[in-house]
Chain A
């Protein structure tokens, strides 16, 4: 554990977490760590085990193996849930009650004062429709009511499971803006999604899960980057030979007239200096960037989200 992690222990930490349903492993040996204040994306295709993991973190289902800590407590314990707000899968409320009454109920369950209901309704921009029955809400409004319920406790940790699922483009944009708004400041957000673009736009760090297993965890840049430098240089073949001879360059090849080097992007200046000193004309140097989608395909060996 780093010094920073000792000072600020992760809000969510799992160790070898697993869930089996008969012979099927929904989640296997999962180790994730969500740090305070970040928006953590839990990325994976449908059926990857995201919702199962979140349900375990909320105490809704019991793990078959491994352990988890949420806010330093057992998942689902009152102490843990005290600081957690959650929207799991589709928002579920009482259809015969208004949005406000639904939130009043939830406030009763969590011990929040009723005045908080109006505050969160304002926060998710539902105050104007608070008297309407839940069954009359559009999907976007239902999702926002779900977020409002999750915010009632003013939680340290917000767990949102596919909050943009089924929304139209405007609804998705609104929801992402809302997530960014509520995730601002000290609050930590754990966001599960199968949408790469969403994770790319909203999240600081990402854990990629596939078939119940965590494939990788890191910042969006780390996942996208993966190292490498693109160099536009003349003559390119001579540049490739020089670069290939450098001990700290993993590989050098020519693609579309550009020199592609497997090397830490931090070494760009050294590469430039070396090529120029050899009398080559360098006109462009930039890190190799792949989209998160490409990175995801690479991690999942070609299986789409």
Chain B
């Protein structure tokens, strides 16, 4: 499997789509979360105070505005890195992970390269798990680089504002890295499974995105009140990705109310872990059994 891992890492490293997707993920994360957010907060015009407002009241309004601005800026500082970035993982990270997973497996079918590789003797399981391990390393790097880029952006903003720089607690950061990795892993695993079942890249990406963006939303909005249905909703991958990611928001900001039904972070992580394992094992089984035509 280690020999396969080396080959798979080389493929990922040299593949343009890896860099394109990674760059999109990073660029959008930093642009939306930091650059745009900072520009918006910084450019809020001073409130219009009616003529004749007493000076003391004017001062009070200005102080309130400044306080609000400070509160908004606070989330951009490295200290709030975890609570600020982690909730974004299911929104943009999940589709990108799904595409990466589908590409890793589906392209091999598209280019018919499985026959070339398998006749070189790696063995199907070694090839499959080498591929997944390489994908896992890529996703882990993406998570780390995302938080690192967020920390650097936050540091720059804090410096511009002349605010002392704090850092999130190490334990919290590790938990966020794990949660981010798990959220990306389950969607990448879904991409791998779909590509294996469908032996195609485009269809598997299309179906995966339709599921993540449309199907779960439709299911959640069905006007069914039965307890069984309500309970079942707690076991959908998209919802659990959100529950896990939002658990970091809640912790840092206090007062944040996640959507009902609530599932605590450990349960959400367990559900995601179970889905990831099932997706991977099913894909491995199918890949091992099927003819390579």
Contacts and interface: CB of A to CB of B under 8 A. Distances in A.
Contacts of B10: 101, 104-105, 108
A60 B113 contact: no
A62 B15 CA distance: 32
B3 A96 contact: no
B116 A108 contact: no
Contacts of B6: 108
A108 B15 CA distance: 17
Contacts, number: 90
Contact of B116 (A61, A78, A93): A93
A82 interface: yes
B127 interface: yes
A153 B121 CA distance: 10
B88 interface: no
A243 interface: no
B118 interface: yes
Most buried by A among B10, B116, B118, B119: B119
Nearest to B15: A96
Given A90-B112, A96-B14, A105-B11, A149 B293 contact: no
Contact of A109 (B3, B111, B115): B3
Contact of A110 (B14, B113, B121, B293): B121
B120 to A, nearest CB: 4
Given A78-B121, A106-B117, A109-B7, A55 B16 contact: no
A92 B120 contact: no
A81 B120 contact: yes
A81 B120 CA distance: 7
- Give the top 3 A-B pairs by smallest Cβ distance, nearest first: A61-B291, A108-B7, A81-B121
A124 interface: no
Contact of A101 (B14, B112, B117, B123): B14
Contacts of A86: 119
Nearest to B17: A96
A104 B14 CA distance: 13
Given A61-B291, A61-B293, A108-B4, A92 B116 contact: yes
